[in-house]
Amino acid sequence: MNYNRICLSAVALTATLAGPLTAQDATQGQELYVAYCATCHGADATGTGPMAELIAVETPDLTGLSARNGGVFPAVMVASQIDGRDLMLAHGGQMPLFGRFFEGDEAVALATPSGQPMMTSQPIADLLAWLESIQS
């Protein structure tokens, strides 16, 4: 067996064992959004939730994240704001009340626009998938 065939076989086996890089479920993400995020960000994700007027900073329109980022969904920024790596005044660190829930049980690797993998939890990966699907 020549070297090229061995390499191709190894790559194919690795891809089969590793599975897809992005294991996201947008339907689950929408359910999580409705349960945990809509109160502040609104049912339509435009920043008009019933709690929005009580927050010290303007609640952003989440349907325009890509538009405000040159047409690219800012997955790393959004994940960092949800999990508290990028502190938000309104969030006070992790998302209030449910930061621990969004930690999840396992880390998931997501491909970023730069091609570098980003590790996050399954709930955050699912939220990202849904948020990306609603960009206008």
The whole-number pLDDT of residue 20 equals 37
Angle at 65 between CA 86 and CA 30, to 5 degrees: 90
- Check if CATH label 1.10.3230 holds for domain 21-133: no
The whole-number pLDDT of residue 55 equals 82
Q: CA 131, CA 52: separation in Å to the nearest integer?
A: 18
User: Who has greater pLDDT, 79 or 30?
Assistant: 30
User: Who has greater pLDDT, 41 or 80?
Assistant: 41
The pLDDT tens digits of the residues spanning 44-87 come to 999 999 998 888 788 899 999 999 999 999 999 998 888 877 76
pTM above 0.85, yes or no: no
Crossing angle of helices 122-133 and 26-36, in 10° steps, is 100
Q: CA 81, CA 99: separation in Å to the nearest integer?
A: 11
Could you give the maximum distance between any two Cα atoms of the chain, in Å? Answer: 68
* Mean residue pLDDT across the chain: 78
